[in-house]
Chain A
């Protein structure tokens, strides 16, 4: 390299430094793969000018288990446990979405009791997942685990109910093609009644602790803002989309499992910032409790599993079923070639797609804001990487 080249390079560096900031060099910091705030093995590579984020790039794949490939080697029923492991914080929703897709492919009619039980567990799962999401979000804002543990208490009770019903807490494997695996145990309904009786007070406590907390406002308001237009264009879904004010909820827009029979509302935010996402989740928990109340009151009797052959060979074709999982629009796209296993098994992961706009949300904020934004999106790395 000649001296002239050296000079050119130096000058280019100076120009870059002058146009990007106050003449200082940016620092690249890796958040993750092992980092307390990335909720798993997720890596965010941020370029910082001082504390200001200039660029954020995510590197994922640390938890990739090639589930879509594995599923091509297993029968439709055998694939249900995989869906637990895709989003291990909302296993019931994933079970449900997959079963809906398989049922569409097989043309199975689900008995009414099974539908009610599915709604019950999907909503319980939403309560549990939102408790986790909001708790960790406050943690990312820097609280010393207190709200998290309070919300974990509710989540524990939900998981206890899961355990009661299907023997597992996280990887439930409860839904079946054509219904659910087991009927409700006798002790479930009293437990659920008690849970429904206790929750309003708990939620009131959280609201008293958090809603008017000035520090939380300062940390989360106006941070990670995204416009509704951009949110739709980025395919965001779930609370992240609804926080921008777009009232899009598949339970209303495309009711499945008889959601049209229940009375509930879709909370939407206004400004699309982290705090609105938090508030939307808080409000959704209340709506879920409303649905649960109605499910318990109108639980139909009858079979809980349709007569579906375990060794099913669907006709060649394809199906795309979506549910409103706690994280957003969760879809399963199944292609059958008439064989015993899906020819193609694809999951539309809301966590991954909600990250589409992470870069846009974090640039210009500080490092701490980027963490809060990431926390407010509520990612599950199992679902991102699959």
Chain B
């Protein structure tokens, strides 16, 4: 591809990425922010394409746009009052901005200072194969550790999500007791299910 096309793509994708990222900061609605984030991620995927990294680009879309942003939306939807204006924590904005600015300057300095040794070669064709081979040959240990970590995280997430009804009942009862001014309550008292299923109704005459 000629320089003109490359520059056109690079600058428009860069604008898309940075514009999307800026809009995340500006937008006060969390759902809007996620949608801007998606735009930013799509820009990054496009930048990968200009680097002839097909595989990474496609994976970027598959994972970040198709999965992670959807998960974020899910999380926001399941959070009470997610549509609330999220611009309240204005007190911490100053220090946080300072930290971010410093990190950004450091990153840019590294980026500019490093000699990247730009390669002007034909695109790698069999990227997936190369990545796969390096993953299971050179980087087998980190790959395995990552896999174990992810499995552990998965199990942990399930364990957390399956919070027992018992816990909820105990919590509710203690709150109730507090409300009535009775002090703490013995958990044993409330473990019984609150409503016993009426067995007589479910028995047909058969």
Q: Which residues of A contact B (CB under 8 A)?
A: 8, 11-12, 14-15, 18-19, 22-25, 225, 227-230, 244-246, 270-272
Q: Tell which of B168, B171, B202, B206 touches A245, judged by Cβ atoms closer than 8 Å.
A: B206
A244 to B205, CA, bound (A): 8
Given the known interface contacts A11-B179, A25-B80, A245-B206, the answer about A19 and B201 at a Cβ–Cβ threshold of 8 Å is no
Asked if B127 is an interface residue, CB under 8 A from chain A, the answer is no
Asked if B203 is an interface residue, CB under 8 A from chain A, the answer is yes
A11 to B175, CA, bound (A): 7
Q: Tell me if A15 and B202 are in contact (CB < 8 A).
A: no
A214 to B63, CA, bound (A): 35
Q: Tell which of A15, A25, A228, A244 touches B176, judged by Cβ atoms closer than 8 Å.
A: A15
Given the known interface contacts A19-B169, A19-B172, the answer about A270 and B201 at a Cβ–Cβ threshold of 8 Å is no
Given the known interface contacts A12-B179, A14-B175, the answer about A19 and B204 at a Cβ–Cβ threshold of 8 Å is no
A9–chain B nearest beta-carbon distance, Å? 10
A191–chain B nearest beta-carbon distance, Å? 41
CB contact list, B186-206 vs A, under 8 A = 194, 200-206
**Cβ–Cβ < 8 Å partners of B133 in chain A:** none
**Cβ–Cβ < 8 Å partners of B169 in chain A:** 18-19
Q: Tell me if B204 and A270 are in contact (CB < 8 A).
A: yes
A225 to B205, CA, bound (A): 13
**Cβ–Cβ < 8 Å partners of A230 in chain B:** 201
Using A18-B169, A228-B204 as known contacts, list a sample of 15 further A-B pairs with CB atoms less than 8 Å apart, ordered by residue number in A. A11-B175, A15-B176, A18-B168, A19-B168, A23-B168, A25-B80, A227-B201, A227-B202, A227-B203, A227-B204, A229-B200, A245-B204, A270-B206, A271-B204, A272-B204
Q: Tell which of A8, A18, A225 touches B171, judged by Cβ atoms closer than 8 Å.
A: A18
Closest B-chain residue to A18, C-beta based?
A: B172
Asked if B178 is an interface residue, CB under 8 A from chain A, the answer is yes
Chief secondary structure at chain A's binding surface: loop
A229 to B205, CA, bound (A): 8
A12–chain B nearest beta-carbon distance, Å? 7
Chief secondary structure at chain B's binding surface: helix
Most buried by B among A11, A15, A225: A15
B90–chain A nearest beta-carbon distance, Å? 23
Given the known interface contacts A18-B172, A19-B172, the answer about A228 and B179 at a Cβ–Cβ threshold of 8 Å is no
Sample 15 A-B pairs with CB under 8 A, ordered by A number: A8-B179, A11-B175, A14-B172, A15-B172, A15-B179, A19-B168, A19-B169, A19-B172, A24-B78, A229-B205, A245-B205, A270-B206, A271-B204, A271-B206, A272-B204
B196–chain A nearest beta-carbon distance, Å? 14
Q: Tell me if B205 and A11 are in contact (CB < 8 A).
A: no
**Cβ–Cβ < 8 Å partners of A22 in chain B:** 163, 168
A23 to B160, CA, bound (A): 14
Q: Tell which of A11, A19, A23 touches B178, judged by Cβ atoms closer than 8 Å.
A: A11
Closest A-chain residue to B80, C-beta based?
A: A25
**Cβ–Cβ < 8 Å partners of B163 in chain A:** 22
A228 to B204, CA, bound (A): 7
Most buried by B among A18, A22, A227, A245: A18
**Cβ–Cβ < 8 Å partners of B80 in chain A:** 25
**Cβ–Cβ < 8 Å partners of B200 in chain A:** 227, 229
B141–chain A nearest beta-carbon distance, Å? 39
**Cβ–Cβ < 8 Å partners of B203 in chain A:** 227
A25 to B81, CA, bound (A): 11
**Cβ–Cβ < 8 Å partners of B175 in chain A:** 11, 14-15, 18
Q: Tell me if B178 and A228 are in contact (CB < 8 A).
A: no
Q: Tell me if B204 and A244 are in contact (CB < 8 A).
A: yes
A238 to B169, CA, bound (A): 42
CB contact list, B150-193 vs A, under 8 A = 163, 168-169, 171-172, 175-176, 178-179
